[in-house]
Amino acid sequence: MLVPTIDLVYGALALGLVGVVMGLWGVIAAFQVKRRYLRAFGEVKAGNVEQLIANLHERLDASVEQFDGFGTRLDVMDKKAARAINRVGLVRFNPFQDTGSDLSFSAALLNDKGDGLVLTSLWGREEVRLYAKPVDKHESRYALSQEEKQALDMAKNARS
Query: What local confidence, expressed as pLDDT, does residue 109 receive?
Result: 96
106 beta partners: 91, 120
Q: Which long-range contacts link 142-148 to residues 24+ away (Cβ below 8 Å)?
A: 144/118, 145/106, 145/120, 147/91, 147/93, 147/105, 147/106, 147/120, 148/91, 148/106, 148/108, 148/118, 148/120
Segments making up each domain of the chain, as ranges = 47-83, 87-156
pLDDT in tens, 73-93: 998 898 888 889 999 999 999
pLDDT in tens, 133-158: 999 999 999 999 999 999 999 999 98
Listing from the earlier edge strand, what are the strands of the sheet with 116-123?
87-93, 104-110, 116-123, 128-135
116 beta partners: 110, 135
pLDDT mean across residues, the chain: 85
**131 vs 69 pLDDT, higher one:** 131
Query: What local confidence, expressed as pLDDT, does residue 55 receive?
Result: 79
Q: How does residue 114 score in pLDDT terms, banded at 50, 70 and 90?
A: very high
Note the pTM of the prediction, 2 decimals: 0.57
DSSP state of 43: S
Pair 131, 100: CB distance under 8 Å? no
